[in-house]
Amino acid sequence: MTSVLQQAIEDLYEQKPANYSPEHRALFLEFRNLLNRGAIRAAEPDPSQPTGWRVNAWVKQGILLGFRMGAVVAVDASSPQSQFFDKSTYPLKTIALDDGVRVVPGGSSIRDGCFIGRGVTCMPPMYINVGAYVEGGAMVDSHALIGSCAQIGSNCHISAGSQIGGVLEPIGALPVIVEDDVLIGGNCGVYEGTLIKRRAVLGSGTILNRSTPLYDLVRGVVHRPNGDEPLVVPEEAVVVSGSRAITSGPGKDWGISIYAPIIVKYRDAGTDAKIRLEDLLR
């Protein structure tokens, strides 16, 4: 069934029609429903891959098809003073009480075409974009963003003000992936397909992307993206924001340092005690 849908999506993406027919729109609605159920996703675990993950480019193609098909329309709002105008193919996601997702009042938005697992808590105002996959038990805190196609594992905490950048384009690039039981501290930024392995911890204000090496003080190595592969944060690493002195040229003469994320330890019982999430808040 999925292979048939995949072929239809790929064909429609490559051969853009002059007009989209009712059959095309029905195909997209079937695709979007599968995204909502978590039956298909932009990236998924794959032990055969060096990173342990593979990108499903055809799913990204299907998401982009939705933008092609959709016209900008007025989105239903509670009052004329809070109007929104967006693609007709991506309304606000419908969540029922039986879904077991907690959305606290206060201005949060979840775009249709993403999977939200049972027990996820959404603190206002936060935003989850199309194609995202958020597993059960995760906490998305105030002013946090889960970008297009980002993959968030179970029992993660995305703290207030943090940005999980996703990655919708290029089609073949892995999105940002945050594996199970990861804590993202407040005001962090994770971009450009960075992969954070399970049980890692990012201290407040840590920024990770393809351009900034990650310095591991414990193991004495420097983590960098390898070719098309992403920056990978090791399992249970505790990362904080630091700086690195410039050692030559005017930068050295002026005493300038540049930003550097640093692994200062690996998770232990003391770390667990400091970051333990209070069940009563969920």
In the chain, pLDDT over 70 holds for what percent of residues? 93
Angstrom distance (rounded) from CA 219 to CA 63: 40
E strands in 195-256 = 195-196, 201-202, 207-208, 214-216, 221-223, 232-233, 237-245
The pLDDT value given to residue 80: 57
With contact defined as beta carbons under 8 Å apart, do 200 and 163 qualify?
no
With contact defined as beta carbons under 8 Å apart, do 191 and 176 qualify?
yes
pLDDT band at 217 (very low <50, low <70, confident <90, very high): very high
Of the candidates 231, 156, 257, 162, the one whose C-alpha atom is nearest the C-alpha of residue 199 is: 156
pLDDT tens, residue by residue, 225-239: 988 889 999 999 999
Average pLDDT score over residue span 122-126 = 96
The pLDDT value given to residue 135: 98
Average pLDDT score over residue span 14-35 = 96
Average pLDDT score over residue span 15-40 = 96
pLDDT tens, residue by residue, 65-110: 999 999 998 877 665 555 788 899 998 899 999 999 999 998 899 9
- Residue 13 makes CB contacts below 8 A (sequence gap 6+) with 58, 61, 62, 64, 65
The pLDDT value given to residue 139: 96
For the chain, the domains span: 1-71+86-209
Given a cut of 60, whether residue 279 has pLDDT beyond it is no
Assigned CATH class of 1-71+86-209? mainly beta
Average pLDDT score over residue span 18-25 = 95
Burial class (CB in 10 A: 0-12, 13-18, 19+), 270: exposed
The pLDDT value given to residue 281: 53
Mean pLDDT of the chain: 92
With contact defined as beta carbons under 8 Å apart, do 143 and 128 qualify?
no
The pLDDT value given to residue 206: 98
Among 162-166, 190-194, 206-210, 224-228, the minimum mean pLDDT is found in 224-228
Strand partners of residue 259: 243
